[in-house]
A and B are shown apart, each in its own frame.
Chain A
Amino acid sequence: MTTAAAATAAPDGALPGPGRTHGRALRTLVRNPMGVAGGILLLIVVLAGVLAPLLAPGPPTEVHFSTPFQQPATVGFPLGTDDLGRDILSRVLYGTRASLEVGVLSVLLAVVAGVPLGLLAGYWRWLDALVSRLADLMLAFPFLILAVGLAAINGGGLGNAAIALGIANVPAMIRVVRAETLRLAEADFVLAAHAMDAGPLRVLGRHILPNALSAIIVQATLVMPAAVLGEAVLSFLGLGIQPPDPSLGIMLSDAQNYLLRTPWPGVFPGLAIALICLGFNLFGDALRDALDPRTSGSGERS
């Protein structure tokens, strides 16, 4: 998707200097109403997650045997309670926090593993074959098997979900960075650096990586909402975050059990997931437009 777009776009040679791009990008971003809306939504979501311990009326795992299934707007329970009488607002806040943690961790993993591999594969042809096979394998290999396997060995958990989702997003990152490296390796300033006897690591680190940064950031904004949704799916299947730790996915799968009795506990976590992802998608779109007008509006992994 992004890879295809980046690859077809590769031939045009003109490259703006890194410094100018970012200044211009920021201005474009601020002028985009969608981007501003996304930014604000994102700010709210991130604040809600970060400040969860302060905002939440109570601990997310506190059981109240005497008040299960309270409806929203009940005294003391603004969003009601679930089957064990736990406060849904607190759980949604802490769940948002967990979702964001998983998202950030899996983005980090995708970057840490994908960027070096992509750089190497794009720069040295002989490594390309090896790295590309690896990426192929990771793409083709059913992701859920990986997640189940990790969960069976480690017993699941937040880190487990982040690892599985990070690994799932590594191949796309490899491809993006590899394509950028291939393109940049032919650029005049890189050829000039070569001519000045710069070593390969210096060329990669000083000249190619900074110029590939836009593509990496764009890819990261795609991974983030995908990871938040992925966490929900994994936890829903019992493979991600494990109870009693709060997670939006677990809340949904719990709520599914007593949906016939009351629909509320299933509504709020679903909305929270949607809002988190909407924030990232809006902001990511605007960021993409600003950083790289050529790939505007394109490419995401779902």
Chain B
Amino acid sequence: MANRYFRCLKFLWFRRFLRFLRFPRSRMVGAPAAVLAAAVLSGCVPVQPVSTSARHEDAYGSPVGSRPVRAGGHLTMGLSSEPDRLDPTTSSSLYTRYVMSAICEKLYDLDAEGRIVPQLAAGLPDVSADGRTVTIPVRDGIVFADGTRFDAAAVRTSLLRHLTLPTSQRTPEMGPVRSIEAPDAHHVVLRYRSPFAPITAALADRAGMIMSPRALAAEGDDFGDRPVCVGPFTFVERVPQTSITVARDPRYYGAADVRLDRITYRIMPDANIRAANLRSGDIQVADTISPQDVDALLREPGLRLLQSGSLGYSGITVNTGNVDGVGSPTRRIDTPMGSDARVRAAFAASIDRATLVNTVFNNWFEPACSPIAPHSAYASAASSACPAFDPERSRRLLARAGVRTPYRVTLQVTNSQDQVRFAQALQASVAEGGFDLRIVPVEYSTLLDVQKRGNFELLMLGWSGRIDPDANTARFLATGSAGNYGGFSSARLDDLLDRAARTTDTADRTELYGRAVAVLQSQNPIVYTYRQRNLTVVSDAVAGVRVYSDGVVRLGGAAFRADGKEG
């Protein structure tokens, strides 16, 4: 301690210098300046304790309801990433869904409780006893934004496009479809080669977006340049790199409840820029607020936070067999990490998730140990179990596996700041457990390529998550699956996941996924680390903004408050 004081004193000259650095007094710098003044007067400052944030409760936002709002107004939202083509069939960007939620309704939607509810469908699908025939009733008396009638034939056209367009990103989500029929104007029938439970959830996402058949015929592949669907708003214009604007659609079936005249989505990739614009009032809503900015923003008057836990996860994929690229037959990887489940278990045990999440994400995100989110309808005690942080156990396991410590492993991550920061904290955490983690930050597109080719030992990437657990598990873990980048193969896991996908009963599926998670936690082909929260900040001038567990910011029912100031 004495030595520390001495070191501190050596830098006493520095304090004189610091006095010149004092910024104009303000709320933000007031505290540091005051502390600094104290430091100057009294010498060295003792270590300051860390404030820990409390647990965070979900806040999905509430409908306008009886609050006084005014009609009209132009809402601006800061969007964290530029959407790709506004085409539900070929789009793969998540942020495209934010814009689409205002202009392109789906057969099904989520509600605040995470349940699937009909939107353009007239009711939940009717599944035959053998699970191979799914009948969807569609609503009547609805027109698309271009005046075309919405009916079963239009639904069939869109679903077929999702299924068969060569460049469709939806094909895998649709499952083993044999045929799609529209026997009458009010029913669409999907016939399957084998039962496919995840279809309802898929139809509550982009695969359920229905496009105007007339626009499809006119635009073809260019539909995304001028999308026409059913929705509270209709597409107006897109300024590349800058913004997308939509306007109220008078033909919308629920037009009476739509208050806003226009919404502009302004593209602002930097989190702190979104925060600055929220403070200055230039935008009223912003998504994906950085955990570093939330606390500061919430101290601002007139801003409030909507938050929901993500259905996805962030995890570290261990390469256990991807040698020749994903899709090729897997081969044994002769490293302790690739071939010995004990070493992977050691790695999993050496991750202090709670501390990492607290340090790197200000405790706004949550530790995750499984691909099934705890608030998912399919979560159970088994699927939410989490092996404890135990560096001792990690070292024991490594010793038992005959691995010399520190065992050097290489982790590739995207070069985005959050990821690299997490990786650096992880490095410090696993060092305790006997691992010498080398971090290699790689640009995102390169990392996707690396992942596909299998040129990695450990690789950290997030998955945004889907409503149906099948899309969060089988896609990445089933033998030979297109997303099985680690080349993992386990007959027991394959069997559990396959049975879960064929079963339509929720309780049965929940039980199967719980058992699958147990296999995952003993084999650790993917070591799950944390789960994001969707953090959306909204100005008090606006009511009716909703964010559910899919993270999509729904502005369709938003309005400016009558008592609030103009935004």
Contact = CB atoms under 8 A, between A and B. Distances in A.
In the complex, A touching B (Cβ < 8 A)? yes
Interface of A: 57, 61-63, 65-79, 83-85, 89, 148, 151-152, 155-156, 238, 242-244, 253-254, 256-264, 267
Chain B: interface size category: 35 or more
B9 to A, nearest CB: 9
B47 A74 contact: yes
Given A63-B425, A152-B445, A75 B275 contact: no
Interface in B292-318: 292-293, 295-297
Contact of B443 (A63, A151, A261): A151
30 contacts: A61-B427, A63-B427, A65-B358, A66-B50, A67-B48, A68-B50, A69-B48, A71-B36, A71-B39, A72-B14, A73-B39, A74-B8, A75-B8, A75-B44, A76-B4, A76-B47, A155-B441, A238-B416, A238-B443, A242-B420, A243-B439, A257-B292, A258-B292, A258-B293, A259-B272, A260-B272, A260-B292, A261-B296, A263-B29, A267-B21
B417 A262 contact: no
A244 B417 CA distance: 11
Interface string B104-133: 000000000000000000000000000000
Contacts of B415: 156, 238, 242
Contacts, number: 142
A67 B50 CA distance: 7
B518 interface: no
Contacts of A264: 32
Given A69-B48, A257-B290, 12 more contacts: A63-B425, A71-B45, A72-B14, A74-B47, A76-B7, A78-B10, A148-B443, A152-B445, A155-B443, A242-B441, A244-B424, A254-B417
A242 B419 CA distance: 12
Contacts of A70: 47-48
Identify whether the interface residues of B are mostly helix, strand, loop, or mixed. Answer: helix
B233 to A, nearest CB: 32
Nearest to A244: B424
B441 A243 contact: yes
B490 to A, nearest CB: 32
Identify whether the interface residues of A are mostly helix, strand, loop, or mixed. Answer: loop
A263 to B, nearest CB: 6
B35 to A, nearest CB: 6
Contacts of B4: 75-76
Nearest to B276: A260
B428 interface: yes
B424 A253 contact: no
Contacts of A72: 14, 18, 36, 39
A83 B359 CA distance: 7
Contacts of B15: 73
A74 B44 contact: yes
A73 B359 contact: no
B355 interface: yes
Contact of A244 (B18, B293, B427): B427
Interface centre among B11, B15, B355, B440 (most CB of A within 10 A): B11
B424 A155 contact: no
Interface in B414-454: 415-417, 420-421, 423-425, 427-428, 439-443, 445-446
B381 interface: no
Nearest to B15: A73
Contact of A256 (B7, B35, B272, B295): B272
Contacts of B8: 73-76, 78
A253 B10 CA distance: 29
